[in-house]
């Protein structure tokens, strides 16, 4: 015995289609309903909402199993007409039930899904760079869930600031448009590894729902060479040492020259007779 025989349900109402729907209409309606009520879209909702969605999805699947099969649908239609006729006879004295029952009423609207951000990149490595240099990149974020009213970005441990990484949000025109986050990194110390875990949070203040996504960011500064370690004070000190050294060398050369002249004069005087 089929499950619908044990607990009868209006499968046309569940799929939101008329009694006269074609096989293609049934297939299209099933695709639409499964897209709306797929449980994966409600993972961030409360347990109460998830259970309600799960029950709705079970009904949709039962309706599809019966109505997609011509023989099962024919058997179901007999029961459908019989129940409709029985209901009509209880509410009116005229038993002239139409062969085509009216369209079923619309079901209640589905619960609003929470925001769901999708990142273009989830890991950014700026590589090994010089300390004190700026490095920037962009991340595109698309919301595939429900609407949001606010964007928040948190650093590791939900901090609002970082010593080496700055975040700039380029706000979209509406919550369905992709938006951009610009990251600017600057490693201040030499030979240091920097890392942050950014959390992008889309918040709907009206419903209290929120959706989050995480980005890991890292940067490493390379060791200094001798030229990069050279400060202004050290440069002036070495220039002073070189200047003093050159001055001493100058006076040594000059002194040696004068000494040579004196020696030559003495030699000339002592050997003057030899030249006469």
If one compares 156 and 246, the residue with the highest pLDDT of the two is 246
Q: Taking a C-beta distance cutoff of 8 angstroms, is the pair 16, 103 a contact?
A: no
Secondary structure (DSSP) of the chain:
--HHHHS---HHHHHT--TT--HHHHHHHHHHHHHHH-GGGGTTS-HHHHHHHHHHHHHHHHHHHHHTSHHHHHHHHHHHHHHHHHHHHHH-S-----SSPPPPPPPPPPPPPPP-EEES-SEEEEEEE-TT-EEEEEEEEEE-SS--SEEEEE-GGG-S--SSEEEEEE--SSTTS-EEEEEEEE--SSS-EEEEEEEEEEEETTTTEEEEEEEEEEEEEPPP-HHHH--HHHHHHHHHHHHHHHHHHHHHHHHHHHHHHHHHHHHHHHTHHHH-
Number of domains in the chain: 2
The last residue of a domain, from among 24, 59, 83:
83
Q: Which of 111, 120, 95 is nearest to 52 (CA)?
A: 111
Examine residue 241 and state whether it is found in any structural domain, yes or no.
no
Q: Model confidence at 2, in pLDDT bands (50, 70, 90)? A: very low
Task: Return the CATH number at 67.
Answer: 1.10.287.110
**62 and 126 housed in the same domain:** no
pLDDT score for 160: 84
Contact 17, 32 (CB under 8 A): no
Q: For the sheet with 134-143, list strands across it.
A: 117-119, 134-143, 179-186, 165-170
Q: What is the CATH number of the domain that holds 189?
A: 2.60.40.10
Check whether 216 has a pLDDT greater than 60. Answer: yes
Q: What is the pLDDT of residues 162-195, one digit of tens each?
A: 889 999 888 776 767 788 889 999 888 878 889 8
User: Region 214-239: what's the mean pLDDT?
Assistant: 77
Domain that residue 185 falls in: 117-226
First to last CA, the chain: 150
Asked if the structure places residue 30 within a domain, the reply is yes
Are both 134 and 182 inside the same structural domain?
A: yes
Are 131 and 210 contained in the same domain? yes
Most confident by average pLDDT, 106-110, 121-125, 129-133: 121-125
Q: Is residue 196 part of a domain?
A: yes
CB 39 within 8 A of CB 57: yes
Query: What residues are paired with 136 via a beta bridge?
Result: 184
Helix axes 23-37, 47-67, angle to 10 degrees: 170
* 59 & 129 share domain: no
For residues 78 and 134, state if they share a domain.
no
With a cut of 80, say whether residue 233 has pLDDT above it. no
pTM, 2 dp: 0.46
22-45 pLDDT, tens per residue?
999 899 889 888 888 888 877 877
164: tokens are 């080496």
Contact between 174 and 204 (Cβ < 8 Å) = no
Name 123's bridge partners. 216
Mean pLDDT value of segment 254-266: 85
Q: Which of 184, 205, 226 is the last residue of a domain?
A: 226
Length of the chain: 276
Tokens coding 89: 């006879």
Residue 102: predicted pLDDT: 63
């Amino acid at each position: 015995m089929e499950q619908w025989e044990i607990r009868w349900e209006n499968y046309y109402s569940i799929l939101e289609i008329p009694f006269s729907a074609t096989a293609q209409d049934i297939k299209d309606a099933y695709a639409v309903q499964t897209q709306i009520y797929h449980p994966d879209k409600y993972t961030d909702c409360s347990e109460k909402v998830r259970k309600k969605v799960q029950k709705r999805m079970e009904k949709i699947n039962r309706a599809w199993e019966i109505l997609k099969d011509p023989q099962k649908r024919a058997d179901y239609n007999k029961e459908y007409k019989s129940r409709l006729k029985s209901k009509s006879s209880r509410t009116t004295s005229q038993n002239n039930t139409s062969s085509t029952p009216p369209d079923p009423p619309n079901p209640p609207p589905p619960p609003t899904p929470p925001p769901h951000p999708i990142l273009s990149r989830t890991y950014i490595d700026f590589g090994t760079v010089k300390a004190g240099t700026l490095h920037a990149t962009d991340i595109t974020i698309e919301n595939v869930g429900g609407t949001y009213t606010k964007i928040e970005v948190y650093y590791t441990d939900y901090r609002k600031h970082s010593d080496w990484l700055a975040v700039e949000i380029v706000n979209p025109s509406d919550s369905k448009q992709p938006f951009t986050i610009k990251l600017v990194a600057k490693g201040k110390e030499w030979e240091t590894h920097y890392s942050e875990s950014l959390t992008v949070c889309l918040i709907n203040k009206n419903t209290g729902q929120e959706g989050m996504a995480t980005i890991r960011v890292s940067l490493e500064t390379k060791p200094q060479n001798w030229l990069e370690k050279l400060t202004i004070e050290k440069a002036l000190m070495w220039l002073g040492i070189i200047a003093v050294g050159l001055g001493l060398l100058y006076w040594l050369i000059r002194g040696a020259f004068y000494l040579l002249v004196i020696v030559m004069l003495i030699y000339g005087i002592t050997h003057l007779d030899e030249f006469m």
